[in-house]
Amino acid sequence: MSTQLLDPPVTTPTSAMPSTSPRKVLIGLIGAGIQKSLSPALHEEEARHHGMRLHYQLIDLDRSASSVEHLPTLLSAARIMGYAGCNVTYPCKQAVIPHLDSLSEEARAMGAVNTVVIRDGQLVGHNTDGSGWAWGFTRALPGADLRRVVLLGAGGAGAAIAHAVLRLGAEHLSIVDAQPERAAQLAADVNALYGARAEAADIQAAMAQATGLIHATPTGMDKLPGLPLDVALLRPAMWVSEVVYFPLDTALVQAARALGCRVSDGGGMAVGQAVGAFELFTGEAPDAARMDAHFRRLVSTR
C-alpha cells in the first residue's frame, strides 16, 4: 500500500502578517420608532475612514414592545456585551438619567442625555444635542437675529437647545410646551445659569414678536406627521430651525420655505450631534464635513 505525501501547509512569514487587526467598536441607539435612523450608516462609514470596524445596533423599543421601564435591563446588557456606549433618543433622554453612574457637566445642566459612554464598567451620560444643534444652526443661518426666539418643545432635545441658543447670545427665549409646567421648569433652570432671559409662554403671544422659531418636538416625523403649530403664526421675516430630520423636508420646513423664511433643516443637528458622539465613543476626532456630505447623500436616496 503506497503512502501519498501531502504538500506541507503554506505559512506566511511573521514579518509579512499585519501587525495589528482593525479596532472593533460596538455601539447602539436606544429609542422608539428608530428603524429609519441614519445614525448607523453615519457612524459606521466614518469609522471605516479611521481604520475601525464599528457596528451600530438599533435597539428599538417599538420593535420589542418595550418602554423606558426596560432601560436598566438594556443598559446592563450593553455593559455586559462590551458596548463602547449607546446613543439615546425619544422617549429616553431624560428617563435614562437615574440609571447612569455619572453625568458630564453639560448633561447635568441640561437635564437630558443623548449619549451614554461605557468605560471601565461605568455608565457616563453626555449630551451632544446642544452643541450639535448649534453646529448645524450657525452653518445654515449665519447672522440669524436672536433677539426674540421661540422654542417649541421643552423635552430632551428642547432642553439641550435652550442652553445652546442662550449660549449663542439669544436675548429673550420664549419656551412653549404642551405641559406648561415643564416649560416653566426649563425656563427656571436656564435663568439660573444665564440670567433672566427665558420664560414659559403661550405660542400665539410669543410668535407675535418672534425673530425666530426652533421646533423641538417629534411632530413631523414619519410616525408623527403634521404641523406643530398654526402656519398663520409664521412670518417671512422669521427664521425657522427644525430638529426633525426624517423626513428632511417636514411639513414645517415646507411651509416656512413657501413663506420665504430662512430655514435650518433637521439634518444639521443630526450630523452635529453625531460628530460629538462619535468622538466620545471612539476617542477619534471625526471629519464633520465628510459626515455631513455622507448624510446628505443618504437622505437623497431615501
Catalytic residues, which ones?
93
CA distances from 41 to 35, 171, 186, 208, 239 (A): 12, 38, 33, 41, 30
- Give the CB-side neighbour count of residue 286, counting CA atoms within 13 A: 27
The CA R_g of the chain, rounded to the nearest whole Å, is: 22
CA distance linking residue 300 with residue 297, whole number of Å: 5
Cell numbers found for residue 86: 449607546
CA distance linking residue 291 with residue 201, whole number of Å: 36
Q: Which residues contact 149 (CB under 8 A, 6 or more apart)?
A: 165, 170, 172, 173, 174, 210, 211, 212, 213, 214
CA distance linking residue 176 with residue 253, whole number of Å: 19
Q: Which residues carry a binding-site annotation for NADP(+)?
A: 105, 153-157, 243, 266
Q: Which residues contact 191 (CB under 8 A, 6 or more apart)?
A: 197, 198
CA distances from 143 to 34, 138, 239, 262 (A): 33, 8, 11, 11
CA distance linking residue 34 with residue 91, whole number of Å: 11
CA distance linking residue 42 with residue 128, whole number of Å: 15
Q: Which residues carry a binding-site annotation?
A: 37-39, 89, 105, 114, 129, 153-157, 243, 245, 266, 273
Q: Which residues carry a binding-site annotation for shikimate?
A: 37-39, 89, 114, 129, 245, 273
Is 114:160 a contact under the CB 8 Å cutoff? yes
DSSP reduced 3-state for 234: coil
